[in-house]
Amino acid sequence: MRGQHQQVRGLQYYYLTQGDGEQDIVFLHGFLGSHAIFNEALSEIDLASTHRLVSLDLLGHGASEGAELHYRFSAKEQVADLAYFIRHYCQKPVILVGYSMGARLALSLATQYPSLCKGLVLESGHFGISSETERQSRQSLDAQRADEIMSDYSSFLRYWEDISLFNTPNARAINATYKQIQQNQQPIWIANSLLGFGAGTMPSVENRLTSLRMPVLLLVGEDDSKFKAINQRMHLMLPSSYLSIIEGAGHRVHWDNPKTWQKEIELFISQL
């Protein structure tokens, strides 16, 4: 494994590579995460012998630099960052594997720059909120959460782990390493991530799904009822998609059931 920083549109991004194949697979983590959340799930994956696995720390997360102003975290800016990273530091077109926030970013990139992406794996993904009323409600919630992050970050982390999204029947408790990843984040960058790229702020790409021609694998936990419904809807709209509902998993499929997560991704990529 090799870790390094690279300049991306004025900011330092960190990423880790594994394997030396000619096809790049780029992994994008979720909110409060880093490249390291995939370490366990990727530890025994066979793809490293035939592909180059690239695990990227997203803007303001992990060892990647953030920004003092939340507009820099907007979908427009982060899609531009990711496109730049792929063009300059990857063997394109890449296969994108995104979890939650990372899945939203991967989907946004694919709808705007389809030539950069050979295939998509979206774990607990979302196309964005279309209803203006729901968007405003979510923006208010994210603004409240951003204030809580800035006032008492440790308290926010305890609250975050207790939300219903992660408290499903088969959800696996995060370990010390996962907690350390969250605790080591910079609160101002995490708050700005919510304000600039929260689900209520990012533009919905729902109306672009029917024109997305690349193969897409949708992964969602059986216990994650909200996202299961969202992904079932996405599956009907995407022209070339596969939906896999993973037993024994909630929102964090890669964490709750890493072996099935591995197998599903390996099968999908072998068929591309």
Domain CATH code at residue 261: 3.40.50.1820
pLDDT mean across residues, the chain:
96
Domain that residue 173 falls in: 2-270
The two three-digit tokens of residue 63, written as one number: 């060892």
- Contact of 24 with 52, CB cutoff 8 Å: yes
CA proximity to 220, closest of 98, 42, 109: 98
Joined together, the tokens standing for residue 132 give 């203006």
Q: Of 232, 46, 34, 25, which Cα lies nearest the Cα of 125? A: 232
C-alpha pair distances (Å), 1 with each of 110, 176, 243: 27, 22, 31
Tracing tokens 């630099």 back to the chain, one arrives at 65
Residue 44 has pLDDT above 90, yes or no: no
Residues in the chain: 272
pTM of the entire predicted model: 0.98
8 A C-beta contact, residue 25 and residue 41: no
**49 pLDDT above the threshold of 90:** no
Does pLDDT of 153 surpass 90? yes
Q: In this model, does residue 115 exceed pLDDT 90? A: yes
Give yes or no for residue 16 having a pLDDT over 90.
yes
pLDDT at 121 over 90: yes
Average pLDDT (105-109) is 98
Count structural domains, the chain.
Answer: 1
